[in-house]
Amino acid sequence: MAKGLGKGLNALFPGESLSKAETVEHIHVKSIKANAYQPRKTFDENAIEELSASIKEHGILQPIILRKIGMTYEIVVGERRFRAAKMAGLQEVPAVVRVFTDEESMELAILENLQREDLTPIEEAEAYHNLMENLGLTQEQLAFRLGKSRPHIANHVRLLSLPEKIRNYISKGKLSMGHGRTLLSLRKKEQIPLVAERVLKEGFNVRQLERLIQRMNEDVPRETKPEKKQELFLAEHESKLRDYFGTSVTIKKTKNKGKIEIDFFSEDDLERILELLNE
């Protein structure tokens, strides 16, 4: 974790008190702006309204955390409280002003939202990507710092390679993260939008989508019944391997022999898969 973040992390946990050396100031809402690194793109309006009603009745129980930039203040932690306070008509909000670098401000803003665990899969993926890009971290280093598994990080970041329209479907809950990961296993990437539209139209679950993509990747003609039974058997095991490795896995079998193909998309992705194989 970046140097100096220890005091900032106090703000992430409501039960912890502020440092004795710190004072709470009342800052005018017009002097405060959102964090440029805020990973959350959409806020639950109902939740903000509920928090606003609570603030009207009880006030803001925990000050927000700001850093000063020129003549204005940037939110480091507490944007939901700030939005609710503005909705409640407050002109000033209680705040603690601390000194943070851009990197520290970004990491704290992202950590606060990850603690809540209600980011969309795409917001979470973008948060991981921004942390790696701006802090110069590998997937393994980031996983260690956040207490996540490396496959968890990798599986989210891979979603960012989907077309923007598909990422929007996932953000809006029309498609699941599982759908997104499965769509990435299509060998002809240009077919992803068309397949996604079919999933929405026909209501495919992830397993049905996996079977469709397997047929598309293999371009297999209509099978006889024994072949169909074996295809389903192999598809089930492919599905288990896809879940484990977080990427497309194909089992090819002819009579008494065959091979297993595991797709990877970068050096980092290959290293991740090799680590899983070693485990």
How confident is the prediction along the chain (279 residues), in pLDDT tens digits per residue?
443 333 333 433 333 345 656 788 899 999 998 887 776 767 778 888 888 898 888 888 888 889 888 889 988 888 888 989 999 999 999 998 988 888 788 777 777 777 665 678 998 898 888 888 877 888 888 888 878 888 888 899 999 999 999 999 999 899 999 999 999 988 888 899 999 999 999 999 999 999 899 888 876 444 445 555 566 677 777 777 877 777 778 888 777 788 888 888 777 778 888 888 876
d(CA 251, CA 163): 27
Beta bridge partners of 259: 252
Burial of 279 (0-12, 13-18, 19+ CB in 10 A): exposed
**What does the block give as tokens for 160?**
């960012």
| pTM of the predicted protein model | 0.59
- Which pLDDT score is estimated for 174? 94
Cα separation of 119 and 42, whole Å? 9
Catalytic residue among 16, 22, 49, 79: 79
Length of the chain: 279
pLDDT of 10: 41
Rounded CA gap, 105 and 34, in Å? Answer: 11
> Residue 7 has what pLDDT?
38
190 catalytic residue (yes or no): no
For 151, 227, 234, 250, the CA distances from 258, given in Å and listed in that order, are 27, 15, 12, 11
pLDDT at 13: 36
